[in-house]
Each structure stands twice: as C-alpha cells, then as structure tokens.
Amino acid sequence: MKSVVHPLSGREIPEYATGVFVPVFTPALQGGAMDPKGLANYIQWLGKDDSVTSLFVRCGSGRMYDYSFEEVKAAIDIGQENNQGKKYVFYGTFGEFSGKVDERPDPGKFIDQTLELSKYAEEKGADGIVLLVP
C-alpha cells in the first residue's frame, strides 16, 4: 500500500486512511437476501468517484447482521471483481449472526467462520479485514 505524508505533522500515513472511506450499503432483494447485481453496480459506481479512497463492505450500515456465510463470500467476490483495483477494499469477515438482537452466535462456529472468511478475503486480494466480537 502506498503512503502519503501528512501536510501538518510530516508523518507518513497509509493512503487508504486519506480521502473518503465509504461504508457500502448492501442492496437487498425483496425477500431480504443480498442483491448481487445491485452490489456490483454500486461498487462500480463508487469506483468512478475520485474523492473515494476506500470501501468497507459488510459494515454496520450494510446489513452486516443479516449476511449468511455464503453471502459474505459472494460479497468478497463481487467487491474484488467490480472494484478492479480502483479503491482499497476492506471486508467485514466475522462469522454469521442469527439476526436476532438478543441472541449471540455460537462462539466456536463464529470463530471458525471468521477464520475461514478472513483467509478467503486475503486469498481474493482484499486490502484489509474488519472483525467484530459478538
């Protein structure tokens, strides 16, 4: 990753930490599942904006609690294919939540999924991952 010299402090900071870091909203189909075409189109559209430096897919404003394990993998694929190296892309690669506010996921399954999804994102060329502790 490239770095930029801060104009006041003179310190080097990573380029992804400059500009606009966009929390990517997740388009959904009528039944609530992720809309792959909508997500692809949105990422392509964000890629055209010169003020945007980085994207955060599967974030709090992007239905992060509703993603299935397979949808996370699909979102990583969609993000990487449609960004085409234009922006830095970070993914929420933590395991599945139940979708119920008062219910926490099984810790063992959650950790296993988190490890697998994080490795998957790395293999696909993600610039970074974001993890949550339930």
Number of domain units in the chain: 1
Residue 2 in domain: no
pTM: 0.89
3-state secondary structure the chain: CCEEECCCCCCEEEHHHCCEEEECCCCECCCCCECHHHHHHHHHHHHCCCCEEEEEECCHHHCCCCCCHHHHHHHHHHHHHHHCCCCEEEEECCCCCCCCCCCCCCHHHHHHHHHHHHHHHHHHCCCEEECCCC
Cα dihedral 68, 72, 77, 82 in deg (nearest 10): 100
Question: Does residue 117 lie within any of the structural domains?
Answer: yes
Range of the domain at 44: 16-130
Burial of 75 (0-12, 13-18, 19+ CB in 10 A): buried
Q: What is the CATH number of the domain that holds 41?
A: 3.20.20.70
Does a structural domain hold residue 7? no
Q: Is the pLDDT of residue 27 over 80?
A: yes
- For the chain, give the percent of residues with pLDDT over 90: 65
Q: Is residue 5 domain-resident?
A: no
Question: Would you say residue 4 lies in a domain?
Answer: no
Domain-embedded: residue 9? no
Highest mean pLDDT range out of 57-61, 67-71, 74-78, 83-87?
74-78
Band (pLDDT 50/70/90 cuts) for residue 83 is very high
Please check whether residue 108 lies inside any domain of the structure: yes
3 part of a folded domain: no
